[in-house]
């Protein structure tokens, strides 16, 4: 029987890889401009990294983790999100001793056992950022700004920024009992997951997909009525900073996010075009979380961050018909005439590559047709043709297929033609 890839995973090849790497490049370039540096953490962690921080009432920990026991009888988990490993890394390496705000980004695979569907995979990729060491609404606004700048740079303009605040612990300590009191008489009418959330984390009932838009959900008490004066001032400052940065947003009081660790502001960037098949798809999600450092026996670390789903950004590019630029430099194919010249061609290809120019040769064929086919297949801009006559007279013919011009040059003019720097002139 043929073995196929696991459902909910993707093979990338051809243009899909171009798209994937282009998104990575755009994210990284912009994050670096904002002062972020890269962190690479392992793809698996001790299971406790997620249980302690993401929370036992979250869907992720409850039912979506790829957890296994290794040969040393340890419980390990393929990372189902990036924030907890980053905090584990920050605390374990005592990076909090460095002064100032720490700003990190990561890019890599994430694993969740969710029901596969369009935009929802078992293995997908996140580009995420985390900042540690500061609680300030201007920072939170600038983190949202970074996410918007990435969207703009990719040309994904149909994006709605949804924003909410979950307030401080104090506000939630008042709000959660009010929520419980409200939901208690309605529990029988609600979905099975909500019955569990009612016990473990009633806040999570607000973002229930099954019970959304029901009478019960529409009349639910609002967190905004429970915020402290300080919470309100923080949220106002954040909105004000977003206004100054020219970022449009919608405040959505049902936005709570599926992970337990958030406090204060939470946000999502949502694809917004009612005529599109991916309308409502969340491309990016994040918020502030101030208590996670303690989950790793570290100090109090004030933190804010977000994560983008890369495959979903790819879907958005496709949806908008945006083609990413070809990342490859102008390629060369060397075409040879006559068997003895093949090796001369190989040496020429090697010289070009050594000088940073992508070059290929048909190893097999002496006929012109298959050699031109190769040039076509690899989309070569330049075609260099050498035959025995050229070798004898130290010449070569170069065709620039973009400019549609053909020139015959001396071999020792090759460096000038391709702007290769270096004193050594090429010779056959």
Binding site for ligand AMP (CB under 6 A): 81, 112, 114, 119-121, 124, 126, 258, 282-285, 307, 309, 311-312
Q: Closer CB to ligand AMP, residue 124 or residue 426?
A: 124
- What minimum distance in Å lies between the beta carbon of 306 and ligand AMP? 8
- What minimum distance in Å lies between the beta carbon of 284 and ligand AMP? 5
- What minimum distance in Å lies between the beta carbon of 268 and ligand AMP? 7
Contact 178, 197 (CB under 8 A): no
Q: Closer CB to ligand AMP, residue 258 or residue 387?
A: 258
- What minimum distance in Å lies between the beta carbon of 303 and ligand AMP? 14
- What minimum distance in Å lies between the beta carbon of 224 and ligand AMP? 22
Q: Closer CB to ligand AMP, residue 190 or residue 285?
A: 285
- What minimum distance in Å lies between the beta carbon of 25 and ligand AMP? 18
Tell me the sheet residues that pair with 165: 265
Q: Closer CB to ligand AMP, residue 266 or residue 374?
A: 266
- What minimum distance in Å lies between the beta carbon of 144 and ligand AMP? 14
CA distance 361 to 420: 20
Q: Closer CB to ligand AMP, residue 285 or residue 349?
A: 285
Q: Closer CB to ligand AMP, residue 203 or residue 344?
A: 203
Q: Closer CB to ligand AMP, residue 128 or residue 345?
A: 128
Q: Closer CB to ligand AMP, residue 154 or residue 375?
A: 154
- What minimum distance in Å lies between the beta carbon of 46 and ligand AMP? 19
């Amino acid at each position: 029987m043929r073995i196929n890839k696991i459902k909910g995973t993707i093979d990338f090849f051809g243009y899909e890889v171009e798209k994937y790497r282009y998104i990575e490049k755009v994210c990284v370039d912009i994050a670096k401009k904002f002062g972020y540096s890269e962190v690479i953490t392992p793809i698996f962690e001790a299971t406790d990294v997620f249980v302690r921080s993401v929370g036992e009432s979250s869907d992720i920990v409850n039912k979506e983790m790829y957890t296994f026991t290794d040969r040393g009888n340890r419980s390990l988990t393929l990372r189902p999100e990036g924030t907890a490993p980053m905090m584990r890394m920050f605390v374990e390496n005592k990076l909090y001793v460095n002064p100032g705000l720490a700003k990190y980004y990561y890019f890599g695979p994430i694993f969740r056992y969710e029901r596969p569907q369009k935009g929802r995979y078992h293995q997908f990729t996140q580009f995420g950022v985390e900042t540690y060491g500061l609680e300030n609404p201007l920072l939170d606004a600038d983190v949202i700004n970074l996410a918007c700048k990435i969207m703009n740079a990719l040309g994904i303009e149909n994006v709605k920024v949804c924003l909410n605040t979950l307030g401080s612990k104090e506000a939630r300590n008042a709000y959660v009992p009010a929520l419980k009191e409200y939901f208690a008489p309605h529990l029988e009418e609600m979905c099975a997951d909500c019955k569990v959330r009612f016990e473990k984390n009633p806040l999570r009932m607000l973002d229930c997909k099954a019970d959304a838009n029901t009478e019960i959900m529409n009349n639910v008490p609002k967190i905004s009525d429970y915020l402290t004066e300080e919470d309100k001032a923080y949220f106002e400052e954040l909105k004000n900073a977003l206004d100054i940065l020219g970022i449009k947003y919608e405040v959505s009081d049902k936005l709570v996010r599926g992970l337990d660790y958030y406090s204060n502001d939470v946000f999502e960037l949502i694809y917004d075009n009612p005529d599109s098949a991916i309308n409502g798809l969340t491309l990016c999600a994040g918020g502030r979380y101030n208590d996670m450092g303690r989950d790793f026996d570290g100090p109090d670390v004030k933190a804010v961050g977000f994560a983008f789903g890369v495959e979903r950004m790819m879907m958005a590019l496709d949806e908008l018909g945006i083609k990413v630029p070809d990342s490859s430099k102008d390629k060369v194919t060397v075409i040879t005439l006559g068997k003895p010249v093949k090796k001369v061609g190989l040496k020429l290809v090697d010289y070009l590559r050594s000088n940073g120019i992508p070059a290929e040769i048909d190893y097999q064929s002496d006929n012109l047709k298959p050699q031109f086919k190769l040039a076509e297949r690899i989309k070569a801009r330049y075609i260099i043709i050498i035959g025995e006559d050229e070798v004898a007279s130290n010449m070569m013919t170069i065709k620039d297929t973009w400019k549609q011009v053909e020139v015959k040059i001396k071999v020792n003019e090759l460096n000038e033609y391709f702007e290769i720097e270096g004193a050594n002139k090429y010779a056959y």
